[in-house]
Amino acid sequence: MKIYIDVLVMENIVMNYLILLLTAKFIRHKTSHLRLFLGALVGAIYVVVLILMPDLKMYYTTLAKFALSLLIIAIAFSPEKLGLFIKTLAVFYVSTFIFAGAAFAFLYLNQTGGFIRNGIVYIWSSKGTTLFFTVATVGIIIKIFWDIVQQRFSKEKLLIPLKIAFGKGTIDLHALVDTGNSLYDPLTNSPVVVVEFNAIKNILPMEIQSIFDEAKENDLDSVTQIVSDSRWLSRFRLIPFTSLGKENGMLIGFRPDYIEVGENTEKKGVTDVIIGIYNRALSKNNNYNALLSPELV
């Protein structure tokens, strides 16, 4: 059997990248595509070493493969805490098993040439379409699996502590982790935490408070004038939205000094975030005062 190194490297980079991308989605970890690619490339280089140097049996050992996994995780995600590193590694293995199983199933059902062995993926096809359909099959399986997980373990009703710091003030409240909250600041692409005005009023500048006290938040001219005259101009912005019961709406948002999500050992500090101010109640029974994107948890 002839094995073409360029095809082998390309296929393994693609598969490794998708595995790492799925891992990032599962753990909701923000990383760059470059880091994911570099992690995938390291895995592909390992495969080439196995093919070109079959006598180096030490690289076939479980310990060597485990060490490779640690290196790939460090490159792709660089987890700062040991607990997060272990969690990422576990999810990485689960993602790998899903991809390997789906790819093997496609190879078996399609009766196409190829193999998956010792961490090596190699597929050949005279039409060059086998890899595409293998990845497509894996994608469909992952989509179904992800939907099941989202439905079964949804965080839509999870309430967690949230602390917001702005200027000289801080405020503590409870936030609902809402999978439907996909608001992002169009300028910085930072996630937006939607917070009730009454819950955050005390840490806002007086001129900003007046906008909501006088119900002027929908008067774009007034809002623009007031914000422009404020010394906090650089911290405030307008965020378009099509939710919260209103289409083509506009939220007044600001960049806080930082927020803290969670409590005790799971407390997480975030600075790359925008607070969107909503001048209505978010909860009928006042159980929570903010809507939090799952990626901030």
Question: What pTM does this model have?
Answer: 0.51
The predicted pLDDT at position 143 comes to: 73
The predicted pLDDT at position 156 comes to: 46
Point out the catalytic residue in the list 6, 55, 147, 178. 178
The predicted pLDDT at position 38 comes to: 94
Q: Tokens standing for 190? A: 């930072």
Beta-carbon contacts of 86 under 8 Å, excluding residues fewer than 6 positions away, are none
Is residue 229 part of the annotated active site? The answer reads: no
Distance CA 21, CA 31 (A): 9
Q: Which of 240, 264, 259 is nearest to 250 (CA)?
A: 240
Q: What is the DSSP letter of 140?
A: H
Helices (H) and strands (E) in the chain, counts: 8, 11
The predicted pLDDT at position 155 comes to: 47
On whether the CB atoms of residues 166 and 257 are closer than 8 A, the answer is yes
The predicted pLDDT at position 172 comes to: 93
Sign of CA dihedral 273, 73, 19, 102: negative
Q: Which residues pair with 115 in a beta bridge?
A: 122
pLDDT in tens, the chain (297 residues): 566 677 777 878 888 888 898 888 888 787 888 999 999 999 888 888 877 776 766 666 778 888 989 999 999 998 888 888 998 999 898 888 877 776 666 666 655 555 555 555 555 554 455 566 666 766 776 677 666 665 555 544 578 899 999 988 899 999 988 766 678 888 888 889 999 999 999 999 888 898 888 888 878 788 888 888 888 788 888 888 765 455 567 788 899 999 999 877 678 888 889 999 988 888 887 888 999 887 787
Beta-carbon contacts of 88 under 8 Å, excluding residues fewer than 6 positions away, are 23, 27, 29, 73, 77, 79
The predicted pLDDT at position 126 comes to: 47
